[in-house]
């Protein structure tokens, strides 16, 4: 009888450890999803809603075509 109780206790401890590991993994996945959502919300702010944000101006200045060039003037 004591052997069965020992096996049951070991099995329950194993299940408890597995449940704790599963909960930790789920919490880590949720934190990663939140970080990704924050990054996705920050990217349009950097790009600017109208298309000439900080990153777009920097890329345009680097490539030589600034987005603030007036329309209709072609060289």
pLDDT at 57: 65
Do the beta carbons of residue 56 and residue 47 sit within 8 Å? yes
The CA-based angle 21-11-16, given to 5 degrees, is 25
pLDDT at 62: 64
pLDDT in tens, the chain (75 residues): 678 888 889 999 999 999 999 999 999 999 999 998 888 877 766 666 555 566 666 666 666 655 555 556 555
pLDDT at 37: 86
Q: Closest by alpha carbon to 45, among 36, 56, 35, 34?
A: 56
- In sequence order, the 6+-apart residues with CB closer than 8 A to the CB of 66 are 57, 60
């Amino acid at each position: 009888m004591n052997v069965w109780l020992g096996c049951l206790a070991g099995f329950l401890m194993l299940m408890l450890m597995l449940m704790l590991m599963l909960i930790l993994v789920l919490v880590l996945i949720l934190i990663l999803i939140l970080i990704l959502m924050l990054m996705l919300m920050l990217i349009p702010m950097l790009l600017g809603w109208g298309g000439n944000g900080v990153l777009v101006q920097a890329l345009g200045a680097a490539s030589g075509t600034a987005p603030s060039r007036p329309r209709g003037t072609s060289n």
